[in-house]
A and B are shown apart, each in its own frame.
Chain A
Amino acid sequence: MIEKTLKGKPAYWIWLAILGTFIAIGWACYFRQYVFGLGLTGMSRDVSWGLYISQFTFLVGVAAGGLMLVLPYYIHNYKAFGRITILGEFLAISALVMCLMFIMADLGQPLRGLNVIFHPTPQSMLFWDMCVLWGYLLLNVLCGWVILTAERKQVPPPKWIYFFVAISIPFAVSIHTVTAMLYCGLPGRHFWLSAIIAPRFLASAFAAGPSLILLACLVMRKYAHFDAGKEAIQKMTTIIMYAVIINTFFFLLEFFVGYYSEVPGHIHSLEYLFFGLEHDGHVYNNLVPFMWTAALFNFTGLGILAYMKIAKVFDYRLVGTAATLIFLALWADKGLGFVFAGFVPNPLEEVTEYIPTLNELGITLGIWATGFFLLTLLYKIAVGIEHEVEA
């Protein structure tokens, strides 16, 4: 099947070349970081996790989001998702590869990474996160590959694979639940110490993952003669819409708890994210523009989707716009705000702001490019097989 990646139109090769350039830049930046240490990033003693861990957190959600295609198709036998379920599985693979790369980029001693296996520590949530991330990655590789091979041979997939498809469903939930538990079990960090973190993560994941798949479908419809089908697209917009509503609801609950209880620890981080946190006569607010933009995108995207449902209109441009806005909003929420604001203020109620460095951005972009490179190859294979079967 891999041979499908070797033939393509110029646009395909240009796209891969662009991604390849970013990957090369990423490696060059990583080399610098590897030689000097993580001091080349904007992270500090106070904000000890930055873009790498926040991207990791967001991408775990993107990976888990594929569940929203797998579940209706395999469990509820929703046939319209037949063509695109494989896209969900392949997205999960790329997203998880990015997650693992972000973790490696964040380690101070990457060569000692295997210590997590040599000295397994079940009381650490990071240990479990490693288990479920690798588990989900391998499950998706297995299921995706076996089912696609069967499709190519135009035979039904072997029965045993459904066992693995079935266990991949709780695994998808577990990867984001355990990732939430990395944060919500820490006693000194009020912003994270909330039982709604895991549900919120899942809700935003079930919007962000399908949004990205939807965008990929729109791109492939235009450039790769691959039509997911109107019904499938419409159903995905419904799923995204409800997931965004639930996520927004959960987020607003955090606001209520903070501002109604007026417990300072519950307010500080929200204050920092949305209004700027005053401390010793200085207002710290470098995330405020991102968060309000995200809020605007979130509600605009939601409005577009709701409009399409209520007015019973369907327009690919509207779908694309809404999916883009929602994906960006959820990225700002979880891929920026959630992690950074947890460190503000620090346990001594001092404030340090985090601004990523260029080198750090280079590595981050490089890893994203690697993920999209892999995603492009996998989707090329999936679409190639579809075309082969149809021909």
Chain B
Amino acid sequence: MDNKRRKFLKMAGATVLAGIGAPAVVKLTSVPALASGSEQAAAGHGSGHGEEQRTGIRLGMVIDMRKFYGNEELLNQAIAACHAVHNVPEIPGRKSEIKWIWKTGFANAFVAQSQNLRSETVKNSQFPVLCNHCDNPSCVKVCPTKATFVNEKNGIVAMDYHRCIGCRFCMAACPFGARSFNWQDPRPFIKTYNPDFPSRMRGVVEKCNFCAERLALGLEPACVEACQGTGAMVFGDLNDPQSEVRKVLSEEFTIQRNAAAGTRPSVFYIV
């Protein structure tokens, strides 16, 4: 087993034993984190510098672009891993495509940042983009049926595919273009079917779920696992000062996509 991952899980276990951190549950990716059902994970209001944040577990991610520069193959692996695990169909053409995590240029990923005089590396590299699992998600606010909602136990912005009526209000509301709609039956376009995760039917919206189903089994998100050993993607509880993801955040300068929209994205980038 990979050394780094071991450390990662061990650290999570140690946190529990030591009773560090307010909600005394494992916060990273092991089973008890999500199975133990913390009752303290309710949405309170932390006080930041003018930005209120949810308290309780809030899963998030740091994407270290330095590991992806010149290594687009790694990015392709992460995307392929996600799409294979979640039965994401490969529908040709822009019109009906479905994507949970995909790659795009800096100018597209970071529209609010200046594009002027960027380094050649930044200009010529592809950036992974996915649902930001915002702390204050506008998609959740607009959904008329609560088919998309924040899981209070871990901060994941989740989808109930069986309740979604397909009004696509969430697609209009998302400032990151993270959501896809099934304009037709997606099943004929699934290359190899993974029986462990449900495929979707036509007429519903879908997006990245931070691998909630894998977290419940003690596994890391598929994209993070695909980058194992590189440190390109670090995943964990943003509200736990001891977590690896917080360690990275406290050491490195990071940016978020379109932070001006006020949704408080949980995905950070080291560019």
Contacts and interface: CB of A to CB of B under 8 A. Distances in A.
Contact of B172 (A38, A48, A119): A48
Contact of A37 (B144, B163, B164, B184): B184
A343 B163 CA distance: 25
Contacts of B164: 108-109, 112
Interface in B118-142: 129, 138, 141-142
Given A46-B94, A113-B165, A188-B173, A127 B144 contact: yes
A109 B95 contact: no
A262 interface: no
A389 interface: no
Contacts, number: 143
B173 A187 contact: yes
Interface string B95-110: 1111000001001110
A44 B184 contact: no
B76 interface: no
A296 interface: no
Contacts of B129: 348
A187 B138 CA distance: 7
Contact of A45 (B173, B180, B261): B180
A123 B138 CA distance: 11
16 contacts: A36-B202, A39-B96, A45-B96, A48-B172, A106-B167, A119-B145, A124-B144, A126-B167, A182-B169, A188-B174, A343-B172, A347-B111, A347-B175, A347-B177, A349-B108, A350-B108
Contacts of A188: 138, 173-176, 258, 261
Interface string A60-77: 000000000000000000
Interface string A329-359: 0000000000000110011111010000000
A-side interface mostly: loop
> Which of A38, A43, A182, A342 gathers the greatest number of chain B CB atoms within 10 Å?
A38
Interface in A62-108: 103, 106-108
Contacts of B169: 124, 126, 182
B214 interface: no
A119 B202 CA distance: 21
A187 B175 contact: yes
A343 B172 CA distance: 8
Interface residues of A, number: 45
Contacts of A342: 172
Given A108-B202, A347-B177, A186 B182 contact: no
Contact of B143 (A113, A121, A189): A121
Nearest to B176: A347
Given A45-B180, A127-B144, A349-B108, A119 B262 contact: no
Nearest to A130: B144
Given A38-B203, A347-B177, A49 B168 contact: yes
A186 B179 CA distance: 15
Given A109-B204, A347-B174, A349-B107, 19 more contacts: A37-B185, A38-B181, A39-B95, A39-B184, A41-B183, A45-B97, A108-B164, A108-B167, A108-B168, A108-B182, A112-B165, A115-B147, A116-B145, A119-B145, A182-B169, A188-B176, A343-B172, A347-B258, A352-B94
B166 interface: yes
Contact of A348 (B163, B171, B177, B202): B177
Contacts of B144: 115-116, 121, 124, 126-127, 130
Contacts of B96: 39, 44-45
Nearest to A189: B172
B189 to A, nearest CB: 11
Contacts of B165: 107-110, 112-113, 115-116
B142 A124 contact: yes
Chain B contact-residue range equals 35 or more
B181 A108 contact: yes
Nearest to B261: A187
A108 B203 contact: yes
A236 B96 CA distance: 46
Nearest to A44: B95
B81 to A, nearest CB: 22
Nearest to A111: B165
Given A107-B166, A121-B143, A182-B169, A187 B183 contact: no
B256 to A, nearest CB: 14
Contact of B108 (A130, A186, A348): A348
A241 B19 CA distance: 72
Given A188-B175, A347-B174, A38 B143 contact: no
Contact of A107 (B167, B175, B184): B167
A39 B180 CA distance: 13
Contact of A108 (B94, B142, B146, B204): B204
Interface string B17-30: 00000000000000
B95 A124 contact: no
B172 A349 contact: no
B53 interface: no
Contacts of A245: none
Contact of A39 (B168, B172, B183, B258): B183
A125 interface: yes
A342 B166 CA distance: 19
Nearest to A265: B111
Contacts of B168: 48-49, 106, 108
Contact of B173 (A46, A186, A350): A186
Given A115-B147, A348-B111, A187 B262 contact: yes
Contacts of A112: 145, 163-166
A103 B111 CA distance: 32
A62 B165 CA distance: 26
